[in-house]
Amino acid sequence: MPRGIRIYGKKRGHRRTGSSKLGVAGEAAFFATLLVAGAGVLAALLYGIVLPEWRANHEFVEHTCVVLDKRLAERENHEDKLYRPEVKIRYGINGRSFTAWTYDIATATNAANSYSAEREEAAAVLDQFARGEEYRCWYDPTQPEVVVLVRGYRWWVWPVLALPLLFVLFGAGGVLFSLLRWNTSAERRAIISRRAAGRELLAGNGHAATEFPTVPEGSDITNSPGTMLRYRLPIGTSPGWALFGILLACLGWNGVVGVFLMWVVNGHLSGDPDWILTVFLAPFVLVGILLIAVLIRQLLLATALGPTQVELSDHPLHPGGRYEVFISQPGRLPLDELQVQLHCEERATYREGTNTRTEARGVYAERLYRGERLTVGRATPFQARCEFVVPVGAMHSFRSEHNSVTWRLVVEGRVAGWPKYRRDYPVIVYPQEQNGGHE
Amino acid sequence: MSRPAVVIRFDQDVVAYLPGAILAGSFWLRGVTTDEVKAVETSVLWYTEGKGEEDMAVHAFWRTSAEAGEWIAPNRAHRFETTLPQTPLSYSGAILKVRWCVRVRAFLQGGREIIGQRGFQLGSLPAVESVEP
């Protein structure tokens, strides 16, 4: 059915997206405001500063003059004083005599930016001129009373120009992008952005060219050969990073709490205890101790259990395919339990207000191996092999901007007296091999 | 005159297309005159549904524009044909669904649009449900 501009877009679950046309109009208005503001400031700077300087350098006529007088001009600026050098000169053009207080083009045109807070600098300029001496000057052929003693460009003009120029570029780019969106369908934009990104370039017949679009490449999974099987799988998230995170949290928390704790302890030692602060600080100290305990536990776990080595007989995986897994776990502590599982998980990222949230949901889990009361040693790691079949009809690995389906081998272990530890090893599942046709 | 609409037909009435199969069909516009149509876009695309933000990618795309001098006869059948890709397969998961469709978007005079869409299935994966790890 025909459609005009909608105030609200479609409702998705409990969330309602805004109208795309209204959103684009809002974006266009925002970028247009930036463009106009930037262009206005840029035009003012060009007209007020750059153009006069450029004219003085390129169009003013060289001449000679006699210095009659000089002075340090002052101007109040709130509570400060600003200064500029002024030199009174006399010069003649076609039999007509002119006198003017001048120095550079900013002074000659009495621009507000001709003053500065640098008194010594202005005085030093005046020292270069002596009364009664003859100097070169440049006058404006269209207004002979406008004359300068120096030419050139002030360096600070260019960085100042950069800011409005950025506004103009950003605004113009945004307006163009919004116009493109206004007149372009989501499908056409998708094609244009894919071409711009250089991904999955369309073949000559207008079709996407990648063999398995949306299936992650997974080349990092197969770049390390195994000792027993073909590939050694890289770990998804290194336990070292978790340890580093806990260390940072521990240092940060206890650093702040430690300062207050020293204050309280000193009060108690000097016989002037602050009981309110002592009671208030107690729970914070307890949390700090808890963090230290967690850190020590993670440290012990990391040192007591070496890296888990997981090897796979082939990769990528295919539904219906049979594969072998080899697992090797070195360490110093006996394992109460060790499990290897094949997991498949959906992940969805969405915005809720200003927050971006990710929800994960397991859709397949199969235990491939389970061992109990296992002896582990540094020199003699625990080793096991097992086979598994990727279920027929399983979804292939999938990744788009906000959604994914990920497969992984998960190793979970439990050391006596310690909570479970878990290590993930991502794998890629390709779609089931089929012949072209239809069902 | 009937309400403007897009009618899409597939050549073969099948439950699901296999990856690599040919998807062919035709479409026409109902209730629209030749003078009204500025451009028509035909896309074969997939999109996601579910908990996450919608993702979408176009597999095949054709645009016919009267402004570019191309003749658009709304009541005549317009053909489309493409070889379907290997992935992503149609999927109905716990918080994620992947859908395939042919979408025809006609741009009319006065900034109006009519959109017609017909879904199809790529592959035949069974639906899945959440599991506890």
**Is residue B12 predicted with pLDDT exceeding 60?**
yes
Indicate the pLDDT class of residue A198, thresholds 50, 70 and 90. Answer: low
Residue A111 has pLDDT above 80, yes or no: yes
* Strand arrangement of the beta sheet that strand A231-232 belongs to: A231-232, A309-312, A322-329, A382-389
User: Cβ distance A370 to A338 under 8 Å?
Assistant: yes
User: Do residue A190 and residue B56 have CB atoms under 8 angstroms apart?
Assistant: yes
A431 CA: distance to closest CA in chain B (Å): 7
* pLDDT reported for residue B48: 96
Q: Do B58 and A213 touch (CB under 8 A)?
A: no
| Per-residue pLDDT at A12 | 47
Residue A204's pLDDT band, with cuts at 50, 70 and 90, is very low
Q: What is the pLDDT of residue A378?
A: 67
Percent of chain A's residues with pLDDT above 90? 49
Q: Tokens at residue A245, please?
A: 């995170």
Nearest to B95 among A188, A190, A346 (CB): A346
Report the chain B residue with the minimal C-alpha distance to residue A393: B125
- Residue whose token pair is 């530890």: A421
Which residues, including other chains, have CB under 8 Å from residue B57's CB and lie 6 or more apart?
Answer: A190, A194, A208, A213, A214, A400, B45, B46, B47
Q: Judge contact between A83 and A73, C-beta under 8 A.
A: yes
Choice among A3-12, A339-348, B54-63, B71-80 with the minimum mean pLDDT: A3-12
d(CA A208, CA A217): 17
Q: Which residues contact B114 (CB under 8 A, 6 or more apart)?
A: A1, A2, A3, B4, B5, B6, B29, B32, B105, B106, B108
Q: Which residues of B touch A363 (CB under 8 A)?
A: 93-94, 128-131
Among the ranges given (A18-27, A313-322, B28-37, B119-128), the one the predictor scored with the smallest mean pLDDT: A18-27
Q: What residues of A are in contact with residue B5 (Cβ under 8 Å)?
A: 1
In terms of C-beta distances under 8 Å and separation of at least 24 residues, what long-range contacts does A88-93 make, across chains too? A89/A65, A89/A135, A89/A137, A89/A147, A89/A149, A90/A65, A90/A66, A91/A63, A91/A64, A91/A65, A91/A66, A91/A137, A91/A139, A91/A147, A93/A63, A93/A139, A93/A144
Q: Mean pLDDT of all residues in chain A?
A: 85
Residues in chain B closer than 8 A to A4 (CB atoms): 111-112
B74 confidence band (pLDDT: 50, 70, 90): confident
Residue A330 has pLDDT above 60, yes or no: yes
Band (pLDDT 50/70/90 cuts) for residue A13 is very low
Q: Please indicate whether residue B129 or residue A407 has the higher confidence score (pLDDT).
A: A407
Q: What is the ipTM of this complex?
A: 0.92
The per-residue pLDDT for A129 is: 93
B94 interaction partners in chain A (CB closer than 8 Å):
346, 361, 363
**Residue A221 pLDDT:** 85
CA distance A413 to chain B (A): 14
Facing residue for A439 by CB, picked from B18, B108, B129: B18
Residue A4: per-residue pLDDT: 44
Q: Which of A361, A432, A433 to mutate to test the interface with B (most CBs of B within 10 A)?
A: A361
Contact between residue A212 and residue A430 where contact means Cβ atoms under 8 Å apart = yes
Which is more confidently placed, A403 or A298?
Answer: A403
With beta carbons under 8 A apart, name residues in chain B contacting A197.
none
Q: Over range B7-24, report the average pLDDT.
A: 91
Backbone angles phi, psi at B108, to 5 degrees: -105, 170
pLDDT at A117: 87
Q: Do B61 and A348 touch (CB under 8 A)?
A: no
Q: Report the C-alpha gap between A367 and A411 in whole angstroms.
A: 10
Q: Give yes or no for residue A7 having a pLDDT over 50.
A: no
* Side-chain-side CA neighbours of residue A426 (13 Å): 17
Mean confidence (pLDDT) of chain B? 90
**From A66-70, A80-84, A399-403, the region with the lowest mean pLDDT:** A80-84
Residues of A in contact with B132 (CB under 8 A): 362, 365
Q: Chain A residue with minimal CA distance to B19? A: A436
CA nearest to B98, candidates A351, A404, A16 = A404
Chain-chain contact of B14 with A2 (C-beta, under 8 angstroms):
no
Contacts of A194 by beta carbon, 8 Å cutoff, 6+ apart: A200, A201, A202, A208, B57, B58
Contact A395 B112 (CB under 8 A): no
Q: What is the pLDDT of residues A136-182, one digit of tens each?
A: 999 999 999 999 999 988 888 888 888 899 999 999 998 888 887 77
At A434, the pLDDT band (50, 70, 90 cuts) reads low
Looking at per-residue pLDDT, the higher value among B91 and A218 belongs to B91
Contact assignment for B128 to A343 by CB distance below 8 Å? no
Answer whether B130 sits within 8 Å of A363, measured CB to CB.
yes
Subunit contact B88:A213, Cβ cutoff 8 A? yes
pLDDT tops 50 at residue A100: yes
What pLDDT, in 10s, does the model give residues A29-63? 899 999 999 999 999 989 888 899 999 999 999 99
Minimal CA separation from A387 to chain B, in Å: 19
